[in-house]
Structure 1
Amino acid sequence: MKSNDKQNHKVTDMNSKTTTRVLSIDMGQEVVDFLRKENLETYDGTFGPFVDARNVDYCWDILPIYLEQNLPDNLHEYSVVIEDLGFERKTIPYDLEQVDKQKAIVEDRSFKCLCLAKPINVLDPVPFGCFLLKREFDKKKGELIKIIFQAPKNEVRYSGIRVSNNIHNIGVFSNYQNIVDFSQKSLSGDRVKLVNEYRLSEILFSGLEDQLSYSQTFFHPSIPKNGSYDTEPNPHFIPLLLNEQGDIISYVYFEKKTCTFVLPQIENKVVLLERLFTNCLYRNFSELFPLQTKNTWLTKKEYELPEIVQLCEEKEEARQIYENTIDQKDKSIVEIRKKYNFLYAMLTESGETLVNNVKQYLEWLGFDNVQSMDEEVKEGEDFQEDLQIHLANNELLIIEVKGLHGTSKDNECSQISKIELRRIHERKYSNVHALYIVNNERGKEPLKRQMPPFTASQIKDAEFAHRAMTYTYQLFNLYFEIESGIITKEEARNALFQNGLVDFRSNFKSIGKPYSYFKNNKVACIELHDTILSVGDKVYFEDDRKRLNVVEIVNIQVDCQNKQTVKVGKVGIEFNMKIPKGAVLLYKHL
């Protein structure tokens, strides 16, 4: 380790005997500048570069190594150490002339230097540097704060050369050597979530979630329960951040006089460190920062006015109520998505999964006895329809379901007709109806798909063959129209027996398109042609999702006179809600 460097210890307008000393290791100039701006005496240190001996141009089994690290000799005088384990360090070629500069372990008189021993030919200085930090900080008697920006756990075996020139196995060390190691799995990702149970999680990370990433997970340590063989989570270990599957990726751990923060990676580390120092360290470790001008300890409960304490408690209660409410809403959303997952799956799936989801949809629509026929096909038998529905009067509805990345070919549209003929020739049913359902272009967002996904000739062929065709996004929108009371389930079921492209809106007739709008589109002027409309009637229009919406007529005027009913001519109609410009208005003809 290098001796103290006055330039490295640069601090502004402070007595160096009373300032807080911070060791910054591989943190970058922006972090060092931030710490010095906070009037913290900061040492800009490094574990050094990788040393690459792969291109050494002579045969070797052992190569002596000199560490290019820069760490202070008086580590026991430092109160805070900050390390970036994910620092992208440079690689330098092996240089034999450097090996006699300085010993890595000064106290060991029998130790001469580190070495590379084959098969290892690249030196990673970080785990060994962490080992040296631990040795020195173990000598410290006062409080110590360790702040670690995480990286994947990396273990390295180190060897050394003694004065006698014998090779010596120093040990296997990791980049988490200088802290209590709770590392679990090396997993990488950038989807994180706060630990709402702990306020510090929100203080540090709220609003930064999209900037965070991780490459290591950690386990929650346990301690024995009093008077029992059972264990319980260690209360001195506080998870601060989780990944999507609940693994811990950031935490704080209190052990004796040491407080360790393990943080996720973030490009702008100053933002996160500023939150940590201002909102946590200055408040809770004021004895380590006696010269900090922020005096944030004044806002601790022990020094607050009673009125402020009461307001803070009420604020915390309100926050808890809010978080509990949000949590309940999230749970309800998950439950509803699970209950109606078949609706979403109809837009994405294919094969048996799609068939099962269409079956569930048809059962929701009110069909009884919906049967999956793939379960009935035995080896060697002819292909059957995907679904059968046994109807009243001994009639049968057979259904073919397909999930495609494109649109249907002619033979895919007509395949159900061949099965229909087979069922007719069986002479078991008084009538057989055929329906083809396709989830077309299933890799695309539905609104970017072709609608309808059939050519004019395919639709005409279906009409001639007396079979029906529909597509899953049409059924998806139908769900909302039924739930809104625009179409009934009975009307929807009857529409599936039409010939050609199914039209769930066959009962709707066009009023026309308004030529003028007022009052934020709640009033529309339109010319009627033998269409009777009255106050209280429902009017419908299609939105940009291809879905019908309903509004109610609340007033009608002709020549500025209120009317209860109109039939022809130019009229002004006021609705209970605004309508989109350019939409064709419809009424339901029963």
Structure 2
Amino acid sequence: MTSEVTDCLIEPAINERPMICVFDGDDQTLALLKKEGFNCSKATLGNLMRVPNTKRESQHLLQLTHSIPENFHEFDVAIVDLAPKEAESYDGTGHLDLKNVVGDKTYALLSEFPQQVFDFKPFGAHALLSKMEDFLSRSSILIVFADEQVNAKYQLVEITSARNNVCDVFTCSNIELYPGFPVVRNKAGSRLKASDGGAGVSGLLFKYMKGGSYKVVFEHPTIWDGGQRMSVPIKSFTPLASNDAGEIVAFGHEVNNGLVLVFPQVENKGAFLCELFNNHLAEIFPEVFPYSGNFGWLDDGSYPLPGELALLEHREQLDAKYQQDVADNEHALRAIKAEHIFLREMLTESGEKLVCAIATYLEWLGFDSVVNMDETDNDTLEEDLQIDCGDKLLVVEVKGIGGTSTDKACSQISKIKFRRAEQRGKFDVFGLYIVNHQRYVSPKNRKNPPFTEHQINDARLDKRGLLTTYDLYRAYFLILGNVLDKEFVRGRLFDYGVIDFYPSNMISIGRPSETLKKGRVLIFEIADVLLAAGMKLVAKKGDSYSVHEILSIQVDGVDVASVSSGEVGVMLDTGVPNRSEILLWGDNQAQATPV
């Protein structure tokens, strides 16, 4: 037998301590703990069972399913995973085994119509609670992976030779696992932030929360302080993580001589527990973990190597600079969001907020006289915005809606347009309908354009424009990218029918066959398309556009000033996004494919 095969047959050495009792842990977690040498035993608080209470008179007696070791008081660590499991099916035998009954009575739980799913776990949690005070009276650790709180009402049936009798009715919680458990309520989420205490364990928790979630939040327990005549938080309770609202989602609690750690549902519980035991708890409870630990005291600065303290101090400075850089970045991000909030409101809002956002955009676009008509005292039926350009007047109707526009909504601006023309005594009035349609849907997933053929034809006949806020949003970035200029966009607002902002003389030369040097070098196969150094190219990827200048051109490895056919390499001033379509301006590119 080869050494490789022999190694596969060797069972991992199991350490005597700590003795770990795992309630409802998954097989992968148990396997990893045992592989790392931890002495684990399986247990359960019970499960879910589908019970066929299909008729009004249906009822079934169910045998208790929790399993707690008789020598639970000898264990050092208890791990309870409250994540929901798949429900078992009732097997038709009653799930009540009377073969091993000693004495003249036994007990069962009653399930009756209309209950279809019976939850044993809160009953099992109550049974574990009765043992937990003794368990935590010594150096021991309770670890809970919390999930949604479930309170279940039970009817306990006493079974004797004479009759079956409901002898007790009570309610149990699946999460109140030790005396003094904090107030808890259901609230779900996944975004966490660290609390002030428990930095090491908090960091470990954040490492394994990717893909995890919390289902409950906790209140910090308090105690009455007679001197201050008020309730104050108890010091033995340490929040480890909270949500955005500051509500506790993970904590540590020193109870008697033991420690309770409650975490949300994390990813890869086995690896999380191994790191928790070896890197953190082994230093706090060396008598519980005599074979664990990674000699963390060697790296805490107590026993430094030559030059180590200087490096540790430098790392602290780097960490502080990083934190400051992040804070500065967040401040700048908040400032950008505040300055450009009108762009987001154009895609989300309705009513007055949307009108104000469009007014801000039009002022940024370069119109000098944008008037919000809702702020005037004119008649009730009027446009939302008015732009007087001297030689012409633009009247604008703005709407934010959950769906798409009706014919009436699209055409309402026509009445206002003709009334303003009559007031001015000129036919120099233009009408524009701007809509933020399907505003609860991501703009890219909306129906674009959202107008019917009938609505578009009517707009052309009435000489008025139809425009979406999403097109205005995209035009903003085309202007920033120097693809468009403000004057061009201002002029298009006076067009008829559906308005877009894409230059008619922009043509496509396709996607490059190769992209090198982070997008700065493009390889093309072109035919009758003039490319020359100094020309501007536009990279289009989805709705994003960027402008790039040609620095140099090569054909067969030789620099050339210009080229119009064949395989060509183009060096740009900046890199283009991968798989971009390349466009260029040109009125003389007759052979190129129009966009």
TM-score of the alignment, normalized to the shorter chain, above 0.5:
yes
1: CA distance, partners of 2:14 / 2:511 = 76
Structure 1, residues 418-460: CA drift from partner, whole Å, max 9, x if none? 3211222234788422122234565665456666666888667
1:90–1:204 Cα change, 3 Å: farther
CA contact (8 A) 1:64 1:99 kept: no
1:526–1:321 Cα change, 3 Å: farther
Partner in structure 2 of residue 311 of structure 1:
311
Choose from 6, 15, 18 the match for 1:20: 18
Q: How is 1:204-353 mapped onto 2 (pairs within 5 angstroms)?
A: 204-222=204-222, 228-229=228-229, 233-243=233-243, 245-266=245-266, 268-292=268-292, 294-296=294-296, 298-305=298-305, 307-350=307-350, 353=353
Work out the percentage of aligned pairs sharing the same amino acid: 30
Structure 1, residues 176-204: CA drift from partner, whole Å, max 9, x if none? 14253223321234x23242755335542
Aligned-residue offset at 1:58: 13
2: CA distance, partners of 1:328 / 1:202 = 24
Aligned-residue offset at 1:126: 3.9
Structure 1, residues 76-99: CA drift from partner, whole Å, max 9, x if none? 322111112235364764637379
Deviates more, 1:449-458 or 1:160-169: 160-169
1:374–1:102 Cα change, 3 Å: farther
1:550 equivalent in alignment to 2:547: yes
CA contact (8 A) 1:406 1:441 kept: yes
2: CA distance, partners of 1:280 / 1:448 = 48
Q: How is 1:74-473 mapped onto 2 (pairs within 5 angstroms)?
A: 74-88=71-85, 90=88, 93=94, 95=96, 97=98, 100-101=101-102, 125-139=120-134, 141-156=137-152, 173-175=172-174, 176-189=176-189, 191-195=190-194, 197=196, 199-200=199-200, 203-222=203-222, 228-229=228-229, 233-243=233-243, 245-266=245-266, 268-292=268-292, 294-296=294-296, 298-305=298-305, 307-350=307-350, 353-368=353-368, 370-373=370-373, 383-392=381-390, 396-403=393-400, 413-427=410-424, 431-439=428-436, 445-447=442-444, 462=459, 465-473=462-470
2: CA distance, partners of 1:514 / 1:46 = 63
1:35 equivalent in alignment to 2:33: yes
1:279–1:511 Cα change, 3 Å: same
CA contact (8 A) 1:526 1:572 kept: no
Structure 1 letter corresponding to 2:355:
V
CA contact (8 A) 2:195 2:242 kept: no
2: CA distance, partners of 1:126 / 1:219 = 23
CA contact (8 A) 1:113 1:160 kept: no
* Ranges in structure 2 where 5+ consecutive residues have no aligned partner: 1-10, 589-595
2: CA distance, partners of 1:56 / 1:346 = 54
CA contact (8 A) 2:540 2:580 kept: no
How many correspondences in the alignment?
557
1:469–1:259 Cα change, 3 Å: same
1:335–1:181 Cα change, 3 Å: farther
Deviates more, 1:70-79 or 1:519-528: 519-528
* Ranges in structure 1 where 5+ consecutive residues have no aligned partner: 1-10, 104-111
CA contact (8 A) 1:187 1:215 kept: yes
CA contact (8 A) 1:521 1:581 kept: no
2: CA distance, partners of 1:200 / 1:431 = 71
CA contact (8 A) 2:539 2:545 kept: yes
Aligned-residue offset at 1:263: 1.7
CA contact (8 A) 2:108 2:158 kept: no
Structure 1, residues 331-360: CA drift from partner, whole Å, max 9, x if none? 433442344233133234555554343233
1:326–1:254 Cα change, 3 Å: farther
1: CA distance, partners of 2:476 / 2:133 = 67
Structure 1 letter corresponding to 2:493:
L
Aligned-residue offset at 1:482: 3.3
Structure 2 letter corresponding to 1:47:
L
1:117–1:391 Cα change, 3 Å: same
1:235–1:358 Cα change, 3 Å: farther
2: CA distance, partners of 1:428 / 1:362 = 26
CA contact (8 A) 2:552 2:559 kept: no
Structure 2 letter corresponding to 1:401:
V
CA contact (8 A) 1:237 1:252 kept: yes
Q: Tell me, what secondary structure is at the counterpart of 1:27? A: coil
Q: How is 1:559-574 mapped onto 2 (pairs within 5 angstroms)?
A: none
1:221–1:396 Cα change, 3 Å: farther
CA contact (8 A) 2:402 2:437 kept: yes
Q: Tell me, what secondary structure is at the counterpart of 1:138? A: helix
Q: Tell me, what secondary structure is at the counterpart of 1:288? A: coil
Q: Tell me, what secondary structure is at the counterpart of 2:186? A: coil
Choose from 63, 69, 72 the match for 1:72: 69
Aligned-residue offset at 1:156: 4.9
CA contact (8 A) 1:373 1:386 kept: yes
Aligned-residue offset at 1:316: 4.4
CA contact (8 A) 1:540 1:587 kept: no
Deviates more, 1:119-128 or 1:72-81: 119-128
CA contact (8 A) 1:26 1:46 kept: yes
1: CA distance, partners of 2:245 / 2:427 = 55
Aligned-residue offset at 1:229: 4.3
2: CA distance, partners of 1:185 / 1:510 = 59
1:142–1:513 Cα change, 3 Å: closer
Q: Tell me, what secondary structure is at the counterpart of 2:418? A: helix
Q: Tell me, what secondary structure is at the counterpart of 1:215? A: strand
The alignment's TM-score, normalised by the length of structure 1, stands at 0.73
Q: CA RMSD of the aligned region, Å?
A: 5.2
Q: Tell me, what secondary structure is at the counterpart of 2:45? A: coil
